[in-house]
Structure 1
Amino acid sequence: MGEPTVNFHVQVRSPQFKIPTELIKKNFKSIQKLIEKQKKQVTDEIAKINKNQALPTAVKLQLVRKLIAGFEQFRKKLRDAIQKDEEYRERLIARKEHLLRLNDFVKKEEQQGTGNDDEGEQQEITDEGSANNSASTETEKGANSAALPGELDLGNYSLINWYREETNLLLVDYLIRSNIGERASKDKGDNLGITLLDSLSAKHPGIAKLIDFDVYEEFNKVYTSIFISHDLTDVISWFNENKLSLKKINSNLEFEIKYCRLLSLIEKNQVSEAIRYSQENLSMYGNKENYNDFDMAKHPTNLNKLKSIGGLLLYLSINESSNTFSSNLVINSNGYKEHEKLLSHGRWDSLAQCFLDDFNTLYGISKNYPLFVYLSAGLSSLKTKSCYCNEKNTVWKSSMDYHKDEETTQNNNTKNLPTSKRLRGPNQYYSLLSKVNNCPVCSPELFALSKNLPYAQLITKIFNNPRKLPNGNIYPFDMLIHPELQPGISPETLESRKQLLDVDKIKDPLTNEIFNCKDCVRVYPA
């Protein structure tokens, strides 16, 4: 992979333009509805005055004043909507200008080589189609090209500051979006991401336009009301506001809301009202004809949930305090315990997950935190087979056992696990290790994120004739069939390797696994 280019950053940050665009569309539709509503109201009032010519002058004057007052409210709402539209457009402009700053950090040699002046570079990034075609062409050329167009000068101090701003944005994004569930309850409504954003805005006033914090705050409010407060008010309001958009993505949120509402009535022992509510609002979900082709996959799940409610009402009629043999038999049955789960926290988990999926789909938000995506990419490039395995470089001596039997390790030595917060921070970890281990993959802070990532297959420059063994490891084939070329190999090991080669077999130098030569596959690294 070559050095980062301007076009690379434009492509990576393209999702940042998705949310403001959706907000502009949503706000425009609300303006249309507002105008249509006001138009209908004025037309009806004028028609009423013209139809009743015999109305007293005082009554007509009162109706006219009512129209004027309505217009004043209309103007106020319209002005607020226009202000929102301008704010959303300013976000798009700020993000475009933030990316255009990269033109100032392009390598000077490349600028001279292409013969373009600053105006030409400006045209390169603004012409998105041209930039995409140039990037794809250079990707196909691969190593035949000496430098990619728009290659950035990583030694430029201003570019380093630009990357620092991006890092701050990633941290703010993660802290705002992750402030849900139990964490939001512990913070008592204080969002650490918003606090950090306010702190950064004091030095960089324009940074708030580079992240859609208000959208994430809205999400956190609704999600927390479901997951923590078990309140349907906010999610119902959000559903009604986005009903048409949710219908286009075939959302099942409406059923989940009504299902939770029904179980809440049953939980409060309002059985009669629950039955009536189910007949009026949930019975149609049991009929397959009410589903379109795209929603048909949801019918079996929804139907099973509706069927389970009947059994729940039956079991609730049993008096748990009764000591009769039949009551005890039913209470201790598996069916009774299964229906009891319907009133557990699980129904709120399902509703919260459904809301999360629909919210991300509407605004084009990735399911994974961008911070984790960048960290995962970097950790994968650094992760080797020696990570966690070299006891000299780690404070936990049973790191391999942690992978093999995670539960046993947790029970035996919880405090010394790699994920223990007690080990976080260089003063704690390095003092216990009695040396400095600069490997981020092995650090306690990143252990949980990096342990399931793939290993880096290439830890040096790309070698000639690379072959992949059946276990996934990649080696230069010449080194495998000519073990004498390997530096530091012992005579005994060399002799055993040659014996294997006589029968068309090779040994993995790292894992000592033996494979047939014909099972090695030629690979072509990008």
Structure 2
Amino acid sequence: MNKIKPEQLLELEQPFIKVPNEQLKKTLRNQTKYLEKEITNINDKIEDCVKKAKADRISIDQATTIIDELLVRLRKLGKKLGDIKKEEALYTTRTKLRLDHLKETSQVAPTDKEALTRWSKLRLDRVLVDYMLRKGFNETAKKMAEDSNISEMVDVELFTQSAKIEDALKRHSCTECLQWCSDNRNSLKKLKSTLEFNLRLQEYVELVRLGKKTEAIQYVQKHLSSWSESHLRQLQQAMALLAFPNDTLCEPYKGLYDPKRWKLLIDQFKADNFALCCLTSQPLLSITLQAGLSALKTSQCQQHEDKNLNCPVCDKNTLGALAQSLPLSHHVNSSIVCRLSGKKIDENNPPMLLPNGRVYSLQALEDMASKNDGYITCPRTGDTFELIETRKLYIS
């Protein structure tokens, strides 16, 4: 196994570090907002109580009640701060563990095959868990993470939360996703996301679908009117939807009623969520496989006569399907491979020319001749020759 190059690895592993870092930043932002709001409310309550006491407009019982309420709020604030501290410690620990994991690549010697294999196995487990989380196999991914002792190196909680929102959208409920938009409004605004508008529009469409036109108009006035400058055309179409029945064939109103819009909302939520969390749009497994397959892919791959038995790109039933749309690799120096044995042709295994013009390696032909009384059969034409009829070729 060759030495792992850290600078190349970081090109693929950026989300591995960024995800816990972004979650830590989000926790700090939420903590700051919560503290400012709670402390302001508590201070206002205390100042109001003091003013009333100075003006002799509050009884002892009333003051006692206010103080009790403040104590309850302070205890609640203390508990909340404790939870936030634990959350911060979790993401800080994760970031350190992940940095240490990547740092190992620059410390392991190329000759230490055992350490390289161990590190690569751990990374493979991470990549597989990430793939399963993205495909919705959360419980399987969680179990694998626990068994492989990599729970701190994968983001199970993030995908579990996302899965709940996706499930709600599948049930045609926008409530959970709208709450998520509210919690991340500033970040979504920086992304110029239209998710919240599309969710509000969908809730309006559902009201029209149910025949609740008065409620639908009130909903537009309350939740969608503020989007009139940026989405005027869509709002005009939405209002015109009131005049069309559910089974209309007239576009774009037929499209607004289409249940497939829920699938589009799920896809948009996933895309925005991945962008906010610095996750790649594709699983790391797919990216890694595509990079490797592209490095192997040549113009001869998947050709009936030229495909290689040991080439994963040539197998159309497995990885070849994934490699179809990938670019060809760039090779300055080429290697010749025997299509019979799949082994490299070089000075120790020279190319041999058959009378019919086909070329195979010497080792492959000798192996075939030893099993057939000195005769060889061309696998592509079916012609049979004696081994002594072959001629050695020289590549210049």
Q: Secondary structure at the match of 1:46?
A: helix
Correspondence 1:286 to 2:286? no
1:174 counterpart residue number: 131
The letter for the 2-side match of 1:384 is: T
Deviations 1:227-281, CA, capped at 9 Å, x for gaps: x211101101101111122222222122111111110110111011112222333
Cα shift at 1:374: 0.8
Shift of 1:27: 0.7
Taking only aligned residues, the RMSD between alpha carbons, in angstroms, comes to: 3.0
Report the CA distance between 1:104 and its aligned residue: 3.9
Deviation at 1:11, TM superposition (A): 4.5
| Residue 45 of structure 1, CA deviation | 2.0
Q: Superposition pairs for residues 253-268 of structure 1, below 5 Å?
A: 253-268=195-210
Correspondent of 1:440 among 300, 307, 312: 312
Matched, 1:72 2:75: yes
1:476-514, Cα deviation, whole Å (9 max, x unpaired):
xxxxxxxxxx99699x9xxxxxxxxxxxxxxxxxxxxxx
Alpha carbons of structure 1 residues 11 and 313: separation in structure 2 relative to 1, 3 Å = closer
Quote the residue 1:232 is aligned against.
174
Aligned to 2:376: none
Please say if residues 105 and 156 of structure 1, whose CA atoms lie closer than 8 Å, have aligned partners that are also in contact: no
Q: Distance in 2 between matches of 1:196 and 1:357?
A: 21
Which residue, out of 215, 227, 232, partners 1:303? Answer: 232
Q: Are the counterparts in 1 of residues 129 and 144 from structure 2 also a CA contact under 8 Å?
A: no
TM-score by length of structure 1 reads 0.59
* Contact 1:312/1:340 (<8 A) preserved: no
User: Within 5 Å, which residues of 2 pair with 1:374-453?
Assistant: 374-390=288-304, 437-441=309-313, 442=315, 444-453=317-326
Flag structure 1 segments of 5+ consecutive residues without an equivalent: 107-151, 180-190, 288-298, 321-330, 395-436, 464-485, 493-526
Q: Which amino acid aligns with 1:172?
A: V
Aligned equivalents of 1:439 and 1:260: distance in 2?
A: 48
Measured in 1, the distance between the counterparts of 2:194 and 2:225 equals 15
Secondary structure of 2:115 counterpart: helix
Q: Percent identity?
A: 25
Partner Cα separation in structure 2 for residue 68 and residue 459 of structure 1: 74
Counterparts of residues 238-387 of structure 1 (less than 5 Å): 238-287=180-229, 299=230, 302-316=231-245, 335=250, 338-387=252-301
The one-letter code of the counterpart of 2:52 is N
Q: Deviations over 1:112-164 (max 9, x none)?
A: xxxxxxxxxxxxxxxxxxxxxxxxxxxxxxxxxxxxxxxx34x6112111101
Task: Please say if residues 376 and 449 of structure 1, whose CA atoms lie closer than 8 Å, have aligned partners that are also in contact.
Answer: yes
Instruction: Tell me, yes or no, if the aligned pair for 1:177 and 1:220 is still in contact at 8 Å.
Output: no
**Paired residue total:** 338
Look up the match of 1:39. 39
- Match of residue 159 from structure 2: 216
Q: How does 1:5-16 map to 2 (within 5 A)?
A: 5-16=5-16
Within the alignment, does 1:156 sit opposite 2:113 as a pair?
A: yes
Aligned in 2, Cα 1:52/1:9: closer, same or farther, shift over 3 Å? same
Write out per-residue CA displacement over residues 414-463 of structure 1, whole angstroms, 9 at most, x where no aligned residue.
xxxxxxxxxxxxxxxxxxxxxxx433221523233111112234284499
Contact 2:42-2:70 within 8 A present in 1 as well:
yes
Give the Cα–Cα distance (whole angstroms) in 1 for the partners of residues 62 and 184 of structure 2.
40
